Structure 1
Amino acid sequence: MDLASKFLRTVTNATNNNTLINVCLVLSFGALSARSIKQQREIEALEAEKVSLLNSNKALKKTMWDWKQQLFAEASTDSALVPLARIKAIYGEAPISPSGVGHVATEDANSQGSKLMV
């Protein structure tokens, strides 16, 4: 009991002492400042990563566009394995007729069957 009362008296005196309160406030401010600096560094790193990803995405889109244009150019020649109309249909640039869809399905089924038989 005597120990508890001494502890309460010490706590009461400490709360009345402005120096202790000021030290606690300064420590809290320091801890919050350190956390804020850490978070700011993380944000800057994430922003740099975002810029890098955006640049790589732009480069990939350009590469895919170039490949697509090359594919269309190769398909427009007479010796193309796949006709240009079929490639445009795959990319959704040409309307697909209902009769063409059935033809494609049977063509795929025939090619699958021949592969299985071999």
Structure 2
Amino acid sequence: MTPTYLFGPCATGVYEIPAAYTNVKAVYTNTAPVDAYRGAGRPEATYTIERLVEKASMELGIDKTELRIKNFPTAFPFKQTLVHTVDSGIMLLEWKRQNRWQTTKVLRQEEKSLKPKEN
């Protein structure tokens, strides 16, 4: 992971997560200081939370898209657990309006039926 300021505040993504914890360890060395440049930390945080959502959906036996939709914020402004406040957003509206969640569900069912069955 990139050791930057952005990872921690972005760790919960766009989801309503009531509790989060970040642990940062600083090390003093005799080498030149190095840090990421131009926004690094956010992609790593996004990857981490999205991977955790996928893993949770597998362990809970819930469709990953449904789990995401279930945890989108519904009231704004929305105070993220660690730092930021999101003043507006239409995440759930966009998902429903474009009917992506249903399409995704149907595609996953079709995908399962197309996989070769083991003997």
TM-score by length of 2: 0.24
Which structure shows the bigger proportion of residues in helix conformation? 1
Higher relative contact order (CA 8 A, sep 6+): 2
Which structure has the greater CA radius of gyration?
A: 1
TM-score by length of 1: 0.24
